[in-house]
């Protein structure tokens, strides 16, 4: 992978990512350049980055796993389909190998951003009313629980395990990078 791509996918700040993308992908007509720009627009919107829609999809999947199993009106299924389409996972196996690689790289960055936001949040890392801090081990356990919910539990509840497999793979890879000795914390279905 080119050096700028490593920087692009390692960077978590949307403004810096946009700058790296704009400086290095002059050719937006090529398949990979066009796909990266489409993913950028789908994730952050046009122009200056606003909210991160991909992290929002992960939060919706976590909501599905956390809420009651009943789904009157199909609201959870709609949220899952919206995430499936938004994360570009629909008919993933029919995409070219290069497209799959680019999408998985973007998913890994999304998972990394989600974990960074969670682990950096005071409410997430503190014990009772922010009085004490959780240990690194406890933070890893809490993150593993959240990752298991959005990557495994929600797709399993909705019987969409196969469709969300690329997200599962990306989430596990990122978790392994951040916590290499704590992979056993993940609850895979």
Q: What is the pLDDT of residue 187?
A: 73
Q: What is the structure's pLDDT at 189?
A: 57
Cβ–Cβ under 8 Å, residues 149 and 157 = no
Rounded Cα gap, residues 28 and 125, in angstroms = 41
Predicted local distance difference test score (pLDDT) of residue 76: 86
Rounded Cα distance, 112 and 158, in Å: 24
Q: Measuring CA to CA, how many Å separate 106 from each of 54, 71, 87, 98, 113?
A: 9, 30, 9, 12, 10
User: 106 and 86 in contact (C-beta within 8 Å)?
Assistant: no
What pLDDT is stored for residue 168 in this prediction?
93
Q: Check residue 1 and give its pLDDT.
A: 55
Alpha carbon distance 155, 80 (integer Å): 8
The pLDDT value recorded for residue 125 is 59
| Measured distance CA(52)–CA(49) in Å, rounded | 8
Domain ranges for the chain: 1-51, 52-185
The confidence score (pLDDT) of residue 142 equals: 81
For the chain, residues with pLDDT lower than 50 are none
């Amino acid at each position: 992978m080119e050096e700028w791509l490593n920087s692009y996918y390692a960077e978590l700040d949307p403004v810096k990512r946009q700058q790296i993308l704009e400086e290095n992908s002059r050719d937006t007509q090529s398949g990979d350049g066009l796909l990266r720009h489409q993913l950028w627009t789908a994730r952050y919107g046009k122009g200056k980055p606003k909210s991160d829609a991909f992290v929002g999809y992960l939060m919706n999947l976590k909501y599905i796993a956390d809420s009651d199993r009943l789904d009157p009106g199909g609201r959870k299924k709609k949220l899952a389909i919206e995430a499936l389409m938004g994360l570009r996972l629909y008919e993933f196996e029919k995409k070219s190998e290069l497209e799959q690689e680019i999408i998985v790289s973007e998913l890994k960055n999304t998972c990394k951003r989600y974990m960074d936001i969670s682990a950096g949040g005071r409410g997430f890392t503190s014990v009772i009313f922010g009085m004490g801090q959780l240990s690194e081990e406890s933070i890893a356990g809490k993150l593993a629980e959240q990752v298991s919910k959005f990557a495994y539990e929600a797709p399993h509840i909705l019987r969409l395990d196969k469709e969300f497999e690329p997200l599962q793979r990306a989430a596990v890879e990122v978790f392994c990078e951040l916590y290499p000795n704590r992979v056993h914390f993940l609850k895979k279905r």
